[in-house]
Structure 1
Amino acid sequence: MIVAAAVIGPQNQPLYLATFVGEDDAARLSTAVHCSLDAVEERVGAGLRGTAPGDAPDAYMGLLATEGELRLYGYATNTRSKLVLAVDDPVIKDDELRAIFRRMHAALVDALSNPFYQQGTPLTSPRFDASVRTIATALGAS
């Protein structure tokens, strides 16, 4: 189901990428993730995150892009970091994706709160990596 999970920093710098497929596909997935960031920037810039005036913005961005059999979904945090999932299951529900993103966001907050983490550098925390892999496996990583 989930074939890749990524965290992109506020200045669109890659902070983390986990792929759950062969090494041959890792570069293709990395490119697909970065191409999907244009859709995130458009939605955030157009103010499409909130549902009505005065409502809190919705962090879940929904479907960002498709590339062949892959569907890329996004989530934007208040700190302008982005979470992107590449999924190869066409029938995954938005509620499931929202729950996955919330769990990933919680793991990200935990990792970024580490006093030894330097902001803007790649996330190399084994604990964060294990959390993301557990979350992806719970849905059924390919």
Structure 2
Amino acid sequence: MIVAAAVIGPANQPLYLATFAGEDDSARVSTMVHCCLDAVEEKVAAGLRGTTPGDAPDSYLGLLAAEEELRLYGFITNTRAKLVVAVDDPVVRDDEMRVIFRRMHAAFVDAVSNPFYAQGSPLTSPRFDASIRTIATSLGALT
């Protein structure tokens, strides 16, 4: 189900990318993740304009892009970091994706809360990587 997971920083710098479909797909998935950042910005801008004062916009961005057999879904944190997941299942439900992103967001918060982590630097924590791989594997990733 999950082919790749990525974390993109607030300035659109790649912080983390894990692929689960093989190394030959890594460059293609990386390119697709980078290309869907425009869709993230559009959805964020549209979502922030439509809310009333005091309401928090929804962090789940939904489907960002669909190319060939892959679909990319997005989530944005309060700090404007973007979580992107590539899925090869054409009928993934939004509630399933929300669960995936909640778990990924919790792992991300744990990783960046480390006092030794320099904000904006790549996420090289083995614990974070293991958490993302566990999330992907438990939800049917191709490993």
Give the TM-score of the pair, scaled to structure 1.
0.95
> What is the alpha-carbon root mean square deviation over aligned residues?
1.2
CA separation in 2, counterparts of 1:50 and 1:66?
25
Task: Report the alpha carbon displacement of residue 15 of structure 1 after superposing the two structures with TM.
Answer: 0.1
What runs of 5+ residues in structure 2 fail to find an aligned partner? none
Q: Where in structure 2 are the equivalents of 1:1-142 lying within 5 Å?
A: 1-46=1-46, 48=47, 52-54=51-53, 55-142=55-142
SS at match of 1:74: strand
Distance 1:78 1:118 in 2: 18
* Moved segments of 4+, more than 6 Å: none
Deviation at 1:56, TM superposition (A): 1.5
Given that residues 2 and 140 in structure 1 are in contact (C-alpha distance below 8 angstroms), is that contact kept between their aligned partners in structure 2? yes
Task: Name the CA shift for 1:51/1:134 in 2 (closer, same or farther; >3 Å).
Answer: farther
Over the matched positions of the two proteins, sequence identity in percent amounts to 76
Q: Deviations over 1:39-80 (max 9, x none)?
A: 00011122x258742431100000000111100000000100
- Contact residue 50 and residue 58 of structure 1 kept, 8 A: no
Question: How far apart, CA to CA, are the structure 2 residues paired with 1:20 and 1:122?
Answer: 19
Pairs aligned (count): 141
Q: 1:3 to 1:49 in 2, by over 3 A?
A: farther
TM-score, normalised via structure 2 length:
0.95
Distance, in Å, in 2 between the alignment partners of 1:31 and 1:52 is 32
* Structure 1 unmatched ranges of 5 or more: none
**Contact map agreement 1:3 1:87 (CA 8 A) in 2:** yes
- The residue type equivalent to 1:53 in the other structure is T
